[in-house]
Amino acid sequence: MDRRGNLLHYLNMNIIPTYALYGETQGAYRQDWLHWETIQARSRLHDYRIAPHRHEQFFQVLHLTGGRADMVLDGHRHLLRPHSVAVVPAGIVHGYGFSPDVEGLVLTLMERDLDDLGIARPSAMVVQGHCDAIGTALARLTAEADRPGVGHDVAMRALLMLLVVALARVAPSVVQSGASGRAAQMVTAFRDEVEQRYRLTRRVADYADAIGISHTHLNRLCKQVLGRSALAVIEERVALEARRQLLFSALPIKQIGAELGYDDPGYFSRFVSRMFGMPPAALRERMRKG
């Protein structure tokens, strides 16, 4: 498949599409705990090409068991072969080009259902091989979802926890050993606040106030759970959005900066240079050349 052509087809977007499930508008999706479907069922409807898009509230796990897929995950390209898993948290831009013989499933759930599990959410990632435990966890979770029994909610919570643990074990950096459940919950609340307000404020104290702790304590928790400061988390989120918009949209650089809170284009250029080692125009050109 021409992965680069598939990506470049969408570089003139002024807005990165946000869908419930791909191709569905935001109001069209309802669920109990989760939704799952075969990759074949969804991708066949779109000629096996899923344009770059993102989900506002959903966390997805794609388990590919047959065929292949060329995936774009936040601007990085991945070739998925059988026994691959892709993890896509809310807000992450992703797209696919599938082979017609593709097999596997896509699991979709509300990200908020991960919040009270006492473990940090898995980050965006692609896992090649070593997916047996993940596949087993997915099978048990979807079986319970399809055939609810006594204690369904308790079972779903337990099975969801096992899935998150299976994902964490193939990417140990996602969860720092020694982080308590309470610490992980507070950091998750902080990251939720960042997701909602990163365009409006970069002050650590504003986020600390929103979740009811001091900015010193918030910094301590971030270093414990994530291995970096609260300010670094905020700046990484701003940088991530800058990178997405530079790659996936046709907006002028000045407008991208203004929408991220940088009214002075010079400040935005210096921020991008500090985060990526080059100014916005050079970064955009380099990413699009692939």
Q: Among 136, 159, 174, which residue terminates a domain?
A: 174
**How does strand 18-19 pair with strand 49-55?**
parallel
One domain, residues 131 and 106: yes
One domain, residues 208 and 275: yes
pLDDT value at 7 more than 50: no
**How does strand 69-73 pair with strand 125-128?**
unpaired
| Beta bridge pairs of residue 19 | 55
Q: Residue 142 is part of which domain span?
A: 3-174
| CATH number for the domain harbouring residue 282 | 1.10.10.60
- pLDDT tens readout for residues 252-261: 999 999 999 9
Better-predicted residue by pLDDT, 127 or 25:
127
CA 82 to chain centre: 21
**How does strand 49-55 pair with strand 69-73?**
unpaired
One domain, residues 167 and 251: no
One domain, residues 164 and 226: no
One domain, residues 146 and 185: no
Confidence of residue 226 (pLDDT cuts 50, 70, 90): confident
Strands laid side by side in the 84-88 sheet: 34-38, 103-110, 58-66, 84-88, 125-128
In whole angstroms, give the CA distance from residue 86 to residue 107: 11
pLDDT value at 144 more than 80: yes
In whole angstroms, give the CA distance from residue 86 to residue 91: 15
One domain, residues 147 and 206: no
Number of domains in the chain: 2
One domain, residues 205 and 121: no
One domain, residues 210 and 117: no
One domain, residues 110 and 28: yes
Confidence of residue 122 (pLDDT cuts 50, 70, 90): confident
Q: Average pLDDT, stretch 81-94?
A: 91
Query: Scanning the structure block, which residue is given the tokens 């399809």?
Result: 146
Average pLDDT, the chain: 84
Q: Among 143, 174, 205, which residue terminates a domain?
A: 174
Q: Are 90 and 57 in contact (CB under 8 A)?
A: yes
| Beta bridge pairs of residue 76 | 73
Q: Among 174, 191, 215, which residue terminates a domain?
A: 174
- pLDDT tens readout for residues 155-175: 988 999 999 999 988 874 333
| Beta bridge pairs of residue 35 | 108
One domain, residues 162 and 230: no
| CATH number for the domain harbouring residue 103 | 2.60.120.280
One domain, residues 74 and 206: no
pLDDT value at 1 more than 50: no
In whole angstroms, give the CA distance from residue 106 to residue 38: 6
In whole angstroms, give the CA distance from residue 18 to residue 57: 10
One domain, residues 224 and 170: no
pLDDT of residue 10: 42
Question: What crossing angle do the helices spanning 265-276 and 280-289 adopt, rounded to 10°?
Answer: 50
- pLDDT tens readout for residues 163-222: 999 998 887 433 333 345 677 778 888 988 998 899 999 999 999 999 999 999 999 999
Percent of the chain with pLDDT over 90: 54
